[in-house]
Amino acid sequence: MKFVIIGAGAVGLLTACLLKKAGNEVQLITRRQEQAELINEQGVLYGETQYMIAATTDWNSIPTEAYTIVAVKYDGLKNVFPRFHHQAIANPIIFLQNGMLHIEAIAKLPQTNIAAGSVEHGVVKLHDNEIRHTGHGVYKFALLKGDESVFKPLLSLPGIRTEWHTDADQLLFRKVLLNTLINPLTALTGLKNGELLTNPYAFGLMKNLYSELSEAFPGMATLLPFEEVKALCESTANNTSSMLADRLAGRAMELDTIILYTLNRAPIELPLLRSFYHLLKSTEV
Ligand SMILES: NC(=O)C1=CN([C@@H]2O[C@H](COP(=O)(O)OP(=O)(O)OC[C@H]3O[C@@H](n4cnc5c(N)ncnc54)[C@H](OP(=O)(O)O)[C@@H]3O)[C@@H](O)[C@H]2O)C=CC1
Ligand SMILES: CC(C)(CO)C(=O)C(=O)O
C-alpha cells in the first residue's frame, strides 16, 4: 500500500517507520526543506535501524491512491486545511491529532473518505530525523465521513496494532479525556507519564481530576475506567507527553483543543481542570 504522511514530527516519523517496516511505500511531507533534505540523505533513525524514506515539501507529489495521514499538531492544521481544498482531493485522509476542536472543520473538506485516528503510543522526536519510541501501543481508527471499507486495509498492517471503532465521537472523546488527565499534569510538573503514578502528589491530583470529570460526564466509568488511565501511563511510562515536549521546546501547547474542549463540553464547571488550564495558559502569554 502507499502512504503519505504530512508532518515529520514524533508521531509522523514513528508512523512512517512502522509503515515502512511493514513493507509499504511511504513518503513524508515536511514543512521545512532542510528537514526533507536531511531525511533524504540520512534516513530516519528509529532504534538501531535507519529507514530510508522519501521526503519532500511538495504536495503535488502525493500519489492519488495513497492513504494520506495528517500528523501535524492542532496548530499546524490551519496551514494544512486550506491546501486540502485544492490538493489530495481523491485521497483517503486520516487525521491523527489529539483533541477535538478540528473535527467540525474536517466535515467541510472536499475529500470523500476521511477517518480519524487515536494514537496510544509514546514517542519523542530527538532530532529532525530521529525518534525514540517510548511506549508501544495501538492506533485506533473511526470513520468521520465516507466509506469505512476504504480504511479497512489499515487493520491488517503487519507488526502494527490497530483497531476499528464504530463511534468516532466516543473514540476521540475518550482520547481527549486521557490527554486531559495526563498531559496538563505532565506539562505543569515536568514529570514523565509513568511518574504521574509514582509521585504521590501528582497521583493525588490525577485522582481528584478523574473524580471531577466523572461528576461532569456520568458515562466516564464505562468510557474510560481509571484503570485504563493508569495503564496508558504505565505503557508510556518513559514518555515526555506531547504537551510537556511542547512546553520544554517553547512551542504552543495543545491547550484549547484538549483542555478547553473538555471544559466547554462539561455541563458543569470543573474548577480543578480550569486551574490547570489557566496555569498553563499563563505560561504562553
Ligand atoms: N508525541 C506523542 O507521544 C503523541 C502525540 N500525539 C498527538 O499527535 C499529534 C502530533 O504530535 P507530535 O508528533 O508529538 O508533534 P511534533 O511537534 O513532534 O510534530 C508536528 C510536526 O508537524 C510539522 N508541521 C507543522 N505544520 C506543517 C505543515 N504545514 N506541513 C508539514 N508539516 C507540518 C512540524 O514541522 P516543523 O518541525 O517544521 O514545525 C512537526 O514536524 C499531536 O496532536 C499530538 O497531541 C498523540 C499521541 C502520542
Ligand atoms: C498517549 C500520550 C499520553 C503519550 O504521552 C499522548 O497522547 C501525548 O503525549 O499526547
Q: Note the Cα 10 to chain centre separation in Å.
A: 9
pLDDT at position 143 is 98
What is the per-residue pLDDT across 70-108, written as a single tens digit (0 to 9) for each? 999 999 999 999 999 999 999 999 999 999 999 999 999
Q: Can you tell me whether residue 197 is helix, strand or coil?
A: helix
Whole-number Cα distances in Å, 77 to 72, 106, 147, 254: 7, 10, 23, 12
Between CA 58 and CA 35 the distance in angstroms is 13
Cell numbers 496538563 correspond to 184
Nearest ligand to the C-alpha atom of residue 182:
2
- Cα 72 to averaged position of ligand 2 atoms, centre (Å): 14
Q: What distance in angstroms lies between residue 259's CA and the mean position of ligand 2's atoms?
A: 14
Which one from 2, 175, 192, 207 is the annotated catalytic residue?
Answer: 175
Amino acid at 128: D
Q: Do domains 2-166 and 171-284 have the same CATH topology?
A: no
Domain 2-166: CATH class, spelled out: alpha beta
Q: Which three cell numbers stand for residue 236?
A: 508510556
pLDDT of residue 208: 98
Looking at residues 214-224, what average pLDDT do you find?
A: 97
254 within ligand 1 shell (Cβ under 6 A) = yes
Give dist(CA 76, CA 207) in Å, integer.
32
Q: Which CATH architecture has domain 171-284?
A: Orthogonal Bundle (1.10)
* Residues 283, 229: Cα–Cα separation, whole Å: 26
Cβ–ligand 1 distance for 11 under 6 Å, the answer yes
Q: How far is CA 155 from CA 161, 162, 188, in A?
A: 8, 5, 36
- Across 177-192, average pLDDT: 98
Is 176 touching ligand 1 by the criterion CB < 6 Å?
no
- Give the model's pLDDT for residue 61: 94
Please list every protein residue whose CB sits less than 6 Å from any atom of ligand 2: 98, 120, 122, 179, 182-183, 193, 232, 236, 239, 241-242
Over the stretch 220-274, which tens digit does the pLDDT of each residue have?
999 999 999 999 999 999 999 999 999 999 999 999 999 999 999 999 999 999 9
Closest ligand 1 atom, CA of 29? 31
Minimal CA–CA distance to 205: which of 186, 233, 179, 227? 186
- Written as one letter, the residue type at 152 is K
CA of 151 to the centre of ligand 1 (A): 22
Q: Which of 13, 31, 56 to mutate to test the pocket of ligand 1 (most atoms within 8 A of CB)?
A: 31
Interface ipTM > 0.95: yes
Atom of ligand 2 nearest to the CA of 254: 10
Q: Grid coordinates in use for 138?
A: 495501538
- Pairing state between β 139-145 and 2-6: unpaired
Residue 8 CB less than 6 A away from ligand 1: yes
**Counting beta carbons within 10 angstroms of the beta carbon of residue 202, is it exposed (0 to 12), middle (13 to 18) or buried (19 or more)?**
middle
108 given a catalytic annotation: no
Report the nearest-CA residue for atom 18 of ligand 1: 9
User: What confidence tens digit (pLDDT) does each residue in 35-80 have?
Assistant: 999 999 999 999 999 999 999 999 999 999 999 999 999 999 999 9
Contacts of residue 194, Cβ cutoff 8 Å, sequence gap at least 6: 233, 234, 236, 237, 238, 239
User: How many A from CA of 176 to the centre of ligand 2?
Assistant: 10
Domain boundaries, the chain: 2-166, 171-284
Q: What is the arrangement of strands in the sheet containing 162-165, beginning at the earlier edge strand?
A: 54-56, 25-29, 2-6, 67-70, 93-95, 114-119, 139-145, 162-165
Q: Residue 250's pLDDT is what?
A: 96
The verdict on the CB of residue 239 being under 6 Å from ligand 1 is: yes
pLDDT mean over 206-211:
98
